[in-house]
Amino acid sequence: PTLQDTRTRHFSKALRDFVSVCLNKDPMQRPTAAKLLEHKFFQLCKKNKDLVKHLLDGQPTLVDRTQLLKDKEDARKLAKSGSKGNLLELKDEEASRQAYVHGVSRWDFDVAQLKLDAEAEAIAEAAAA
């Protein structure tokens, strides 16, 4: 993927190169964060305020973008299921996704321990019900 100039937006050569390097499909070919900070794009920026002004100005917050993606995904799932009243199933699926993200985000890939944690959580939920 690359940035394309439009009638209303023009991207510098340095920015286009920076984006293409970041979006390389092969993760082994992508530079490290430290290497990216040495990229010409950052060298040409006069101040950090320039980055915020030109790159982030007018963009929705991360929270807003995350909610928008979640809303789109929920709508897609509802359309796929063909049922508009199937919110319980969506909530179960979301809880499962969050549990997965929680397990992966800890960088603890001990599958046996993850299964034990999930079982203990299920028992606790059953006892609470």
pLDDT tens digits, one per residue of 46-64: 676 666 666 666 777 778 8
Indicate the pTM of the whole model.
Answer: 0.38
Give residue 52's pLDDT.
65
Tokens coding 108: 């603890």
Between residues 21 and 86, the one the model is more confident about? 21
| Residue 6 pLDDT class (50, 70, 90 cuts) | confident
Identify the CA nearest to 87 among candidates 78, 95, 79: 78
Asked if residue 113 has pLDDT above 80, the reply is: no
Report which secondary-structure segment, H or E, holds 87: helix 87-105
